[in-house]
Amino acid sequence: MTASLGLERRNPLPKGRYWVFRMGPDIGRFDAWLRAWTLPKFLRVVSTELDIDADPITEFVVFEVLVDGVVMWQGPGLPDRSPPHVTSAQDVIQAPTVDTGLDQLRKAFTASGEAIPTLLFLAGAIYLLTKGGKS
């Protein structure tokens, strides 16, 4: 599943759902921005995660703009347009793809499959060279 529908460059923000990551001092400014637009009910916070163990501290926020043409984005950066399934940082952080045991075996055989003819040739050449003078 895709984690972002792309960055939203229009300002004011169109009605829709968005997510952002904030770090360090940006968190306080962003939270103040959220409150300014939430109180008059122009947007609502869908979910938020604060990671105080990160260095610097990070915050992940999913919010929804409820009224078209009113909410002015103030940055920094741009918000990502969010699909409905995104509710946490884990939904947007990409983890490496880990092959199953069978896939790893297949890759090993494919890689060695290219090397086997060369190894057989070298083994044959070494055998002939070492056996060469003996009959």
Cis previous bond, 79, omega within 30: no
**pLDDT per residue over 91-120, tens digit each?**
988 755 666 666 665 666 666 556 666 667
**pLDDT per residue over 43-68, tens digit each?**
999 999 999 999 999 999 999 999 99
- The mean pLDDT of the chain is 85
Taking the domains of the chain in order of start, what are their residue ranges? 16-91, 97-135
User: pLDDT class for 76, splitting at 50, 70, 90?
Assistant: confident
Report residue 118 CA to chain centroid gap: 40
AA identity, residue 106: R
Measured CA to CA, the distance from residue 89 to residue 59 in angstroms comes to: 9
Q: 14 and 8 in contact (C-beta within 8 Å)? A: yes
Closest CA to 58 of 85, 35, 27: 27
pLDDT-wise least confident of 24-28, 38-42, 103-107, 115-119: 103-107
Q: Using the predicted structure, report yes or no on whether residue 12 has a pLDDT greater than 90.
A: yes
